[in-house]
């Protein structure tokens, strides 16, 4: 099976930088995804990593280390609207239909 | 980009009745659809994977006779919650695999089910 861990909650200040970590254990790793989800809404895609290294996209960056089973999502210049849950999800080659397995999600609260 | 339309957005039903949730892929063919359930302050838990024209694959602990999934066409998958009970109250989300990109998973907007 797959085991995906991320902190339950985090708090940060508007304008600051926050790093949300995700560790995973899986065989046949085939990609890691980060999604943002506001309460009562569907998740929206943020980033995808399949090779080691950093992927940067505007204020959001995601890092992956496959040997360590570790990823982080970095949010810069935090805005109030960034208050949401951030979901780490892993895809494994053996998963039927290429399904994603989600971590428990990290609820981020951005304070003024 | 790829869009999945999910209806209804919310529904309130009486205990013992059945509710059908639809997910349609609007501009692509969804050969595979994933159905998730999400309880408050929790993450998405996969319930089942449906493939067009074949029986759905259910995750362990999910009752296939209670959560009926039909994927009769390449653009429509439905989830029917039969004999609903208050503990079935949850947020249900579908997600279609868009094979156009490596990271292509398109989510529906979700259905908030409340069983009273």
State the Cα–Cα distance between residues B116 and B113, nearest whole angstrom: 10
Per-residue pLDDT band for B104 (boundaries 50, 70, 90) equals confident
State the Cα–Cα distance between residues A40 and A22, nearest whole angstrom: 23
B42, B44, B51: residue with CB nearest A97: B51
A40, A42, A104: residue with CB nearest B107: A42
Beta-carbon separation of A97 and B45 below 8 A: no
State the Cα–Cα distance between residues B81 and B71, nearest whole angstrom: 15
pLDDT at A61: 97
Burial class (CB in 10 A: 0-12, 13-18, 19+), B17: exposed
Q: Helix, strand, coil % (nearest 5) of chain A? A: 5, 60, 35
Mean pLDDT of A3-20: 97
Write down the mean pLDDT value for chain A. 93
Query: In chain A, whose CA is at the least distance from the CA of B4?
Result: A42
Q: Cβ(A106)–Cβ(A85) under 8 Å? A: yes
- The two beta strands, A44-49 and A18-25, are unpaired
Mean pLDDT of B11-34: 94
Chain B residues lying within 8 Å of A1, measured CB to CB? none
CA Rg, chain A, in Å?
14
- Could you tell me where the beta strands, DSSP code E, fall in chain B? 4-7, 10-13, 19-25, 32-38, 45-51, 57-58, 67-73, 76-81, 90-97, 105-107, 111-115
Per-residue pLDDT band for B40 (boundaries 50, 70, 90) equals confident
Q: Which residues of A touch B (CB under 8 A)?
A: 31, 33, 40-45, 48, 50, 85, 87, 96-105, 107
């Amino acid at each position: 099976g797959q085991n995906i861990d991320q902190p339950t909650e985090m708090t940060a200040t508007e304008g600051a930088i926050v790093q949300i970590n995700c560790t995973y254990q899986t065989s046949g790793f085939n990609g890691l995804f980060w999604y943002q989800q506001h309460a009562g809404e569907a998740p929206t895609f943020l980033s995808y990593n399949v090779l080691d290294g950093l992927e940067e996209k505007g204020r959001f960056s995601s890092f992956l280390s496959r040997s360590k089973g570790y990823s982080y999502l970095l949010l810069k210049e935090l805005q109030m609207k960034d208050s949401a849950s951030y979901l780490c999800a892993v895809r494994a080659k053996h998963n039927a239909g290429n399904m994603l397995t989600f971590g428990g999600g990290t609820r981020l609260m951005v304070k003024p | 980009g790829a869009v999945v339309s999910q209806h209804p957005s919310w529904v309130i039903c009486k205990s013992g009745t059945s509710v059908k949730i639809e997910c349609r892929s609007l501009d692509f063919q969804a050969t595979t659809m994933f159905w998730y359930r999400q309880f408050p302050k929790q993450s998405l838990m996969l319930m089942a994977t449906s493939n067009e024209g074949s029986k759905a694959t259910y995750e362990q602990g999910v009752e296939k006779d209670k959560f009926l999934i039909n994927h009769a066409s390449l653009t429509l998958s439905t989830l029917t919650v039969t004999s609903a009970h208050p503990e079935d109250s949850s947020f249900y989300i579908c997600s279609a695999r868009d094979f156009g990109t490596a990271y292509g998973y398109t989510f529906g907007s979700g259905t908030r089910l409340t069983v009273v």
